[in-house]
């Protein structure tokens, strides 16, 4: 830790008996912080997380406004041609990183040197509203040596059934729980609103839930929670498989394994405080009308997952239903019991979807419906 001491410590004033006054010691403690700048690359249809560290000195944990813009070589991330490859990183959200001494996680947007948002910068394009709340349920698979964690080499474990919220070595193995526990703690230390975890339906499949207010903040937290998980798994020789249908098999056969979703729960101030059946029905009509625009941003390969089986609706149908896990939008019992007030669950977004685009699209459709 660097200490800057301007002048001899503690004393100021003249000399001679009685002339010395004790002053507060003007010490400024500076520390070198490790700033991990995180961004989304230009790969399609599924962007990858990228990050790099810069070390800078601050008097205290840095605030967002104190973090400088930075840059990277976009020709290595499918974000630029080689001849003009500098892409600007603009910090947009800052989190504590308890895995590193003086660690900071800095979520960034990408910009061209002209000042325009990079085409891959989905965050820059979405509407925001701090009174719209999102709860994302992120499902994913742990993968080791090319197969879900716990699958025997070249084969399959017992059919799914006991794995969902399961306990015991034969259901969850010996490593996964250690990882998800650490992930909770790192997220909490970071100030991310992680709300829970559970083992999921397929072996090696898990879920965590992230809640946030505003489409940008909720999705920032989601991306950083994904980053933390992917980085945490490195030391276990495990990868996170975000794709929505990594294990395929004939339907209705024993080898038919669940896909991964990112159920997106949402509520606006109007939905929470006013609601009503008439407004709800107008809202659902708007979701039906914009079905294609929603599906377009709900994640790649979603036709493999939204089949009408495994608690999903088909990709080409829109439906809603009370407590209906086979509907596109599930309406919680509490919503109806409270006079059509509260939150709704869009079950269609998949595990690999970009939460910026998902939250932005939901908000856009909701905002298209008049509240009077």
Q: Which residues bind ligand ADP (CB under 6 A)?
A: 133-135, 137, 195, 209, 211, 263, 265-267, 343, 345
If binding is defined by CB under 5 A, does position 346 make contact with Mn ion?
A: no
Q: Identify the residue whose tokens are 């980053």.
A: 227
Among positions 263, 310, 348, 361, the unique one binding Mn ion when judged by CB under 5 A: 263
Among 207, 241, 346, 354, binds Mn ion (CB under 5 A): 207
Inter-helix orientation angle 215-233/176-190, to 10°: 140
Using CB under 5 A, which of 41, 97, 109, 137 touches Mn ion? 137
Q: 237 near 332, Cβ under 8 Å?
A: no
Q: For Mn ion, which is the closer residue by CB, 110 or 264?
A: 264
Residue pointed to by tokens 């989905």 = 122
The residue nearest ligand ADP at its CB is: 135
**Least distance to Mn ion, CB of residue 250, Å:** 23
Residue 154's region, left for phi above 0, alpha for psi from -120 to 50, else beta, is: left
Q: What Å distances lie between residue 33 and 177, 235, 265, 325, CA to CA? A: 31, 23, 36, 46
Work out how close the CB of 221 gets to Mn ion at its nearest, in angstroms, rounded to a whole number: 17
Residue showing the smallest CB distance to Mn ion in the complex:
263
Beta strands in the chain (DSSP E): 2-4, 11-12, 21-22, 28-40, 49-58, 70-73, 86-97, 103-111, 133-144, 147-148, 194-199, 205-213, 239-241, 262-267, 320-322, 329-331, 344-346
In the chain, count H helices and then E strands: 9, 17
Q: Which is nearer to Mn ion, 53 or 165 (by Cβ)?
A: 165
Q: At what angle do helices 277-289 and 355-367 cross, to 10 degrees?
A: 120
Indicate the residue among 10 and 130 with the shorter CB distance to ligand ADP: 130
Residue 195 binds which one of ligand ADP, Mn ion, none, with CB within 5 to 8 A depending on kind?
A: ligand ADP
Of 58 and 211, nearer to ligand ADP (C-beta) is: 211
Report what 335 binds from Mn ion, ligand ADP, none; CB cut-off 5-8 Å by kind.
none
Q: How far is the CB of 90 from Mn ion (least distance, A)?
A: 33
Which CB sits closer to ligand ADP, 77 or 267?
267
Nearer to ligand ADP, 35 or 172 (CB): 172
In the complex, least distance from residue 288 CB atom to Mn ion, rounded to whole angstroms:
20
Q: What is the DSSP letter of 42?
A: S
Site for Mn ion, rule CB under 5 A: 137, 207, 263
């Amino acid at each position: 830790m660097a200490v800057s001491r301007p002048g001899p410590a503690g004393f100021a004033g003249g000399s001679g008996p009685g002339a010395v006054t004790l002053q507060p010691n003007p010490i400024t403690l500076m520390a070198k912080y490790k700033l991990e700048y995180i961004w989304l690359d230009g790969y399609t249809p599924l962007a990858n997380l990228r990050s790099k560290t810069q070390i800078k000195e601050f008097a205290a944990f840095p605030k967002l406004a104190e973090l400088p813009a930075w840059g990277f070589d976009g020709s290595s991330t499918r974000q630029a041609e080689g001849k003009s490859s500098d892409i600007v990183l603009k910090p947009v959200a800052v989190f504590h990183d308890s895995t590193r001494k003086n660690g900071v996680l800095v979520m960034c947007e990408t910009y061209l040197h002209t000042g325009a948002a990079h085409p891959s910068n989905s965050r820059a394009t979405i509407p925001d509203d701090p009174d719209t709340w999102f709860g994302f349920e992120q499902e994913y698979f742990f993968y080791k040596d090319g197969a879900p964690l716990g699958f025997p080499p070249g084969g399959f474990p017992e059919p799914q059934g006991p794995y969902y919220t399961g306990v015991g070595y034969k259901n969850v193995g010996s490593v996964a729980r250690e990882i998800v526990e650490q992930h909770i703690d790192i997220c909490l230390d970071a100030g991310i609103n992680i709300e829970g975890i559970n083992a999921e339906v397929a072996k090696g499949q898990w879920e965590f839930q992230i809640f946030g207010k505003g489409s940008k903040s909720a999705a920032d937290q989601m991306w950083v929670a994904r980053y933390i998980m992917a980085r945490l798994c490195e030391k276990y020789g495990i990868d996170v498989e975000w794709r929505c249908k990594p294990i395929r098999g004939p339907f209705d056969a024993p080898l038919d394994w669940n896909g991964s979703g990112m159920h997106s729960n949402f509520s606006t101030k109007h939905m929470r405080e006013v609601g009503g059946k008439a407004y709800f029905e107008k809202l659902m009509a708007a979701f039906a009308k914009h079905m294609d625009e929603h599906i377009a941003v709900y994640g790649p390969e979603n036709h493999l997952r939204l089949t009408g089986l495994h608690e999903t609706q088909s990709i080409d149908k829109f439906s809603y239903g009370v407590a209906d896990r086979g509907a596109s939008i599930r309406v919680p019992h509490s919503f109806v019991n409270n006079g059509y007030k509260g939150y709704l669950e869009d079950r269609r977004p998949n595990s690999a979807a970009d939460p910026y685009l998902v939250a932005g699209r939901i908000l856009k459709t909701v905002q298209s419906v008049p509240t009077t």
